[in-house]
Structure 1
Amino acid sequence: MDATFLVAGSMIGSGIFLVTSDMARDLGSSGWLLVTWLLTGVITLFGALSYGELAAMFPKAGGQFVYIKEAWGKLPSFLYGWTVFTVIQTGVIAAVGVAFGKFLGVFFPILVEKTLFSYASVNINGANIVGAVIILLLTLLNTRGIQYGKIVQAIFTSSKLIALSVLIVAGIAVGISSGYFGENFTDMWDASKTTVVDGKVTGIVDLLPIALAIAISTTIINSLFSSDAWNNVTFIAGDIRNPERNLPRSLFLGTFIVTILYILANVAYLGLLPLEGVPQGADVAYTRESVEAAGIQFASSGRVGTSAAYMLFGNIANLLMAVLIMISTFGCNNGLIMAGSRLFYAMSKEGLFFKKANSLNRFGVPAWAMWIQGIWAILLCFSGSYNILIKFATFGSMVFYIVTIAGLFKLRRTMPNAHRPYKAFGYPLVPFLYLVFAVLICVSLTLFTFWDTAGSIVLVLVGIPVYYIFFHKKQQEV
Structure 2
Amino acid sequence: MKEALEPTEMKRELGLLDATLIVAGSMIGSGIFIVAADITRNVGSAGWLIAVWLITGLMTLIAAVSYGELSAMFPKAGGQYVYLKEAYNPLIGFLYGWSFFAVIQTGTIAAVGVAFSKFTAYLIPGVSEDLVMFTVGSLTVSPAQILAIATIILLTYINTKGVKGGKMIQTTFTLTKLLSLFGLIVFGFIMLKPDVWDANWTNAWSMQKLNGDGSVQSYTIAAALGAVAAAMVGSIFSSDAWNNITFIAGEVKNPQRNIGLSLFLGTLIVTVIYVLANMVYVAVLPLTEIATAEKDRVAVAASSVIFGNAGTVIIALMIMVSTFGCNNGLILAGARVYHTMANDGLFFKKTAILNKHAVPEFGLWIQCVMASILCLSGKYGQLLDMISFVVVIFYVLTILGIYILRAKMPDAERPYKAFGYPFLPALYIIMGIAFCTLLILYKQEFVWVGLGIMLSGVPIYYLWRATESKTA
Q: TM-score, normalised by structure 2?
A: 0.94
Equivalents in 1 of 2:133, 2:186: separation in Å?
Answer: 41
Given candidates 214, 229, 249, the residue that maps to 1:217 is 229
Deviations 1:216-258 (A, max 9, x none): 1221111011000001000000000000000000000000000
Q: Is 2:42–2:231's contact at 8 Å kept on the other side of the alignment?
A: yes
Pick closer, same or farther for the CA change 1:392–1:208 going to 2, 3 Å.
Answer: closer
Q: Is 1:30–1:189's contact at 8 Å kept on the other side of the alignment?
A: yes
Measured after TM superposition, the shift of residue 473 of structure 1 is: 5.1
Q: Is 1:10–1:335's contact at 8 Å kept on the other side of the alignment?
A: yes
- Stretch moving more, 318-327 or 382-391: 382-391
Q: TM-score, normalised by structure 1?
A: 0.93
Equivalents in 2 of 1:156, 1:220: separation in Å?
Answer: 27
AA at the equivalent of 2:71: A
Q: Which residue of 2 aligns with 1:378?
A: 372
Q: Superposed, which structure 2 residues align to 1:338-357 within 5 Å?
A: 338-357=332-351
Measured after TM superposition, the shift of residue 472 of structure 1 is: 4.2
Question: What secondary structure sits across from 2:122 in the alignment?
Answer: coil
Pick closer, same or farther for the CA change 1:402–1:380 going to 2, 3 Å.
Answer: same
AA at the equivalent of 1:301: K
- Stretch moving more, 118-127 or 66-75: 118-127
Question: What secondary structure sits across from 2:209 in the alignment?
Answer: strand
**1:117 and 2:122 correspond:** no
Q: Which residue of 2 aligns with 1:179?
A: 195
**1:454 and 2:448 correspond:** yes
Q: Which residue of 2 aligns with 1:402?
A: 396
Q: Which residue of 2 aligns with 1:228?
A: 240
Q: Is 2:245–2:333's contact at 8 Å kept on the other side of the alignment?
A: yes
**1:67 and 2:83 correspond:** yes
Measured after TM superposition, the shift of residue 182 of structure 1 is: 1.4
Given candidates 444, 455, 458, the residue that maps to 1:464 is 458
Pick closer, same or farther for the CA change 1:233–1:267 going to 2, 3 Å.
Answer: same
Q: Superposed, which structure 2 residues align to 1:139-288 within 5 Å?
A: 139-175=156-192, 177-196=193-212, 200=213, 204-275=216-287, 277=288
Question: What secondary structure sits across from 1:319 in the alignment?
Answer: helix
Pick closer, same or farther for the CA change 1:173–1:74 going to 2, 3 Å.
Answer: same
Equivalents in 2 of 1:394, 1:325: separation in Å?
Answer: 23
Q: Which residue of 2 aligns with 1:289?
A: none
Measured after TM superposition, the shift of residue 214 of structure 1 is: 2.5
Given candidates 308, 311, 322, the residue that maps to 1:314 is 308
Deviations 1:47-79 (A, max 9, x none): 111111000000010010100110111111111
Q: Is 2:225–2:438's contact at 8 Å kept on the other side of the alignment?
A: no
Specify every segment of 5 or more residues in structure 1 that has no aligned partner in the other structure, as ranges.
278-294
Deviations 1:264-315 (A, max 9, x none): 001111111111x2xxxxxxxxxxxxxxxxx111111111100000001112
Q: Superposed, which structure 2 residues align to 1:18-97 within 5 Å?
A: 18-97=34-113
Equivalents in 2 of 1:195, 1:50: separation in Å?
Answer: 39
Specify every segment of 5 or more residues in structure 2 that has no aligned partner in the other structure, as ranges.
1-16
Q: Is 2:226–2:443's contact at 8 Å kept on the other side of the alignment?
A: no
Equivalents in 2 of 1:451, 1:7: separation in Å?
Answer: 30
Alignment length, in residue pairs? 455
Measured after TM superposition, the shift of residue 120 of structure 1 is: 5.8
Q: What's the C-alpha RMSD, in Å, of the aligned pairs? A: 1.5
Measured after TM superposition, the shift of residue 474 of structure 1 is: 2.3
Equivalents in 1 of 2:95, 2:376: separation in Å?
Answer: 25
AA at the equivalent of 1:66: V
Q: Is 1:96–1:333's contact at 8 Å kept on the other side of the alignment?
A: yes
Equivalents in 2 of 1:409, 1:230: separation in Å?
Answer: 22
Q: Is 1:351–1:475's contact at 8 Å kept on the other side of the alignment?
A: no
